Chain A
Amino acid sequence: MQRLKEVDVVVLGLGMVGSMVAKELAAAGYKVVGLERGEARFTVPEFQSPAIHDELRFAVRKALMQDNTREPVTFRNHASEVALPIRRWESFLPGTGLGGSMVHWNGQTYRFQANDFQLATRTRERYGKRFLDPDLTIQDWGVTYEDLEPHFDRFEYLLGTSGKASNIKGQRQPGGDPHESPRSRDYPTPPQKELHQGALFRKAASSLGYNPFPQPSSNLSQPYTNPEGMKLNACVFCGFCERFACEHFAKSTPQTVILPVLLANPNFELRTGCQVQRINLDSARKHATGVTYIDAVGREFEQPASLVITSMFALNNVRMLLLSGIGTPYDPVSGRGVVGRNYTYQTVSSAAAYFDQDVIVNPFMASGASGTVINDFAGDNFDHGGLGFIGGAYIGAVNSGGRPILYHPVPPNTPAWGKRWKQAVIKHYNHTIIIGVHGSSIAHRGNHLDLDPTYRDAWGQPLLRMTFDFPQNDLKMSAYLTAKAAEIGKAMGAKEVAGSPREGPYTTQQYQSTHNTGGTVMGDNPRTSVVNRYSQSWDVSNVFVIGASNYPQNASWNPTGTLGALTYWTIDALKNKYLKNPGPLVSA
């Protein structure tokens, strides 16, 4: 093993979070090394069409995702079962390579609401102490919406997010989402154009007394230059966002909003093809000395560093702490330990609305975030008293592209293959609207992540093991809200509406969401959290963990907007607190 020259900061994973942290710290004068396991790739030439629109390669065979022939995740529903490796990604799609999972994201850029950051407290206040099943381990974040607001704002302006404000510093604005928490200013660019299906949804939702609004999108509605000086173009609605990369410089990704600035800074060095094995600790195991990694040709290196930032995909953040022995692993039997605890997901369902032939949907014309949605049943925006669950969902016509191989909606009871199936696809392809129900995920005592006792990766390290099933709370929520979505579908004039609420057990064989959250939960108590309110490890103060793995439970919305805010919040603490006086920022 070769020991390299010590640097100030080593950043593990060069997705959006890693790129933001590295850019800020390199600009502040620190020597930063970024370690990325995947390859370097850029809009030109890697993301250009027609190659990037290869649905078989990218959507079916998942070319942009973590290589699960070398590094899968094992899965089981319950601790009584034996977990097996997921050999084909279906349910969730962790990305790999420079730019990370945001290269293939849809661009849906929501803020969690103020209530979400104090979920345990607010639930107790509104519904009483005994409302919740005691096995639901929800908790507050240790950071509030007010703390994060300036950082939400900064992140949205970094991305150029297209949307419409409804609440600017408490002043109600026309349009937008009436449930939103106060914002300091409007979105940097106006909403994307409304799709025809969005217009039908908007009219029907309004007629039922709901409050539809355009989904905030980081596929931009118009050209935009961000505060880093990066120019973005307007989206052309090609319908190839999720699972694909954008060839038009129109989707906000690390490549389009920040990486060129980072890579131009001589204080930063990018190393790709580097598989980090562990964070190294001193003999007292209270201080990190750097990391050990293996490069693309199999050579092992030790990279000493004063500060370690773990900014990998949420699941891999958890695994890196477990592999490094940082923090106490969670034990679902005793309920003790923290690393891997409160793994949550997203409870997604839908109602398919089938229309007559005169309603032309053109599902292929879309961006990943050009939907029209309502928040009337999201979070705690409605009274849960008597419903027997907490949490909610945003509901909307959110079609991200009717691509030929994977999109062919047919009504229930259609044969799954053969002539009648083909006839049904032809009949319904252009006359169907899928109303999505994007539901929250409540932490449960049994759902967790740990190291697999049997299976190892290509480098000989234990795989991450996922133990997960939907809590009854979330299944009740899904049933209630999928019925609401079906009602809207009827009001849209569909001749048939088929609601499909989420049902257990959770399966990894059907795509649901890549919103894997929790496992390195943040909080104000080291007995129930892995990192403090500044994303700093309670156990090893020169390790900061930033990712959706820090979410104590997952809310009704896509996690990226909140993760961007959390990242700028943590950067602020690093620059203005930690680096001026290294040590624990919160006393345990």
Chain B
Amino acid sequence: MIAGVRLPADAPKGRAPAFALAFALAFALAFALAFALACAPAAAAAPSAAAKPGETVAPCEACHGAHGEGMAAAHVPRIAGQSAEYLKKQLDDYAEGTRDNPVMRNFAKALSDQQRSTLAARYAAMRATPPPQAAALDAVQRARGHQLAYQGDEQRRVAACNSCHGPDGVGVLHAAPYLAGQSADYLTSALKSFQQDTRRNDAGESMRSVAKQLDDADIAAISGYFSSTQ
């Protein structure tokens, strides 16, 4: 079973009506939709500028957007310009179950290794879109977010986010994803999933160690902070 489709060479540009439908369904029926998409990918595989005619695509765009911009309100990350190694590893880990997400698990399992690599490379090559709307932070939260990003916290034994994620969270190729411009809701849910051990695909438990030392206020501050940087 392959969650991809051969696009007709003359596929029209722009969003198909099915796209809007998929959005609505994604919220209400994540499980069922995933199954439906996997079984009948044509229903959601909206052609777009990102897909070249004749290429195999998965229905990533339904949630991650035609330009990889993500869907901030639904905790769906922006993936345009994220490193190919990182994206490929996430697809592998969804399939393995070390990153637990019912929607992504089904998609990832249905993809061949080659398809995962191709998709990862395609999104990596996209120019990062303008970030989605940043979370509103008050001055205290902003200062706390900046402190965690640049300095870390000695008492909580948390290293600066930028130590691994690069200057102001721009990401480090092959090693750590970008955080800058990422959806605050997605960052919050990612940190929570590390905190709660539903995401276990971090080498050496490095993110789980950090997330478990953070409280809700810290998570809100750091997520909001990076959502407002580029």
Contacts and interface: CB of A to CB of B under 8 A. Distances in A.
B162 interface: yes
**Consensus secondary structure, chain A interface:** loop
A48 B159 contact: yes
A105 to B, nearest CB: 19
B151 interface: yes
B153 A234 contact: no
A248 B163 contact: yes
Nearest to A43: B154
B157 interface: yes
Contacts of A248: 159, 163, 206
A117 interface: no
Contacts of B204: 221-223, 233-236, 250
B209 interface: yes
Contact of A233 (B154, B167, B206): B206
A235 B163 CA distance: 13
Interface size band for A:
20 to 34
Contacts of B209: 223, 231, 233-234
B152 interface: yes
Given A43-B154, A43-B157, A44-B152, A49 B163 contact: yes
Point out which of B151, B204, B206 has the most chain A C-beta atoms below 10 A from its C-beta. B204
Report, as a range, how many residues of chain B touch the other chain: 20 to 34
A96 B158 CA distance: 24
Contacts of A234: 203-206, 209
Interface in A219-268: 221-223, 231, 233-236, 247-250, 256
B151 A48 contact: yes
A247 B210 CA distance: 13
B159 A44 contact: yes
A418 interface: no
Contacts of B159: 43-44, 48, 233, 247-249
A236 B205 contact: no
Nearest to B208: A223
B150 interface: yes
A50 B163 CA distance: 6
A45 interface: yes
Nearest to A235: B204
B203 A236 contact: yes
Given A43-B154, A45-B151, A247 B205 contact: no
B164 interface: yes
Interface in B95-119: none
Contact of A43 (B152, B167, B208, B213): B152
B89 to A, nearest CB: 15
Nearest to B175: A236
A195 B206 CA distance: 19
Contacts of A44: 151-154, 158-160
Interface string B186-227: 000000000000000001111011100100000000000000
A137 to B, nearest CB: 46
Contacts of B208: 223
A257 to B, nearest CB: 11
A213 interface: no
Interface string B149-183: 01111100111101110010000000000000000
B197 to A, nearest CB: 12
A377 interface: no
A231 B154 CA distance: 12
Interface in A36-82: 42-45, 48-50
Contacts of B152: 43-45, 48, 247
A221 B209 CA distance: 13
A48 B160 CA distance: 7
18 contacts: A43-B157, A44-B152, A44-B154, A44-B158, A48-B150, A48-B152, A48-B160, A48-B163, A221-B204, A223-B209, A233-B206, A233-B209, A233-B210, A235-B204, A236-B204, A247-B152, A247-B159, A248-B206
Interface of A: 42-45, 48-50, 221-223, 231, 233-236, 247-250, 256
Listed from nearest, the 3 A-B pairs whose CB atoms lie closest are A234-B204, A44-B154, A44-B152
Given A248-B206, A249-B159, 13 more contacts: A44-B153, A44-B160, A48-B151, A50-B163, A50-B167, A223-B205, A223-B209, A233-B204, A234-B206, A236-B206, A247-B160, A249-B157, A256-B157
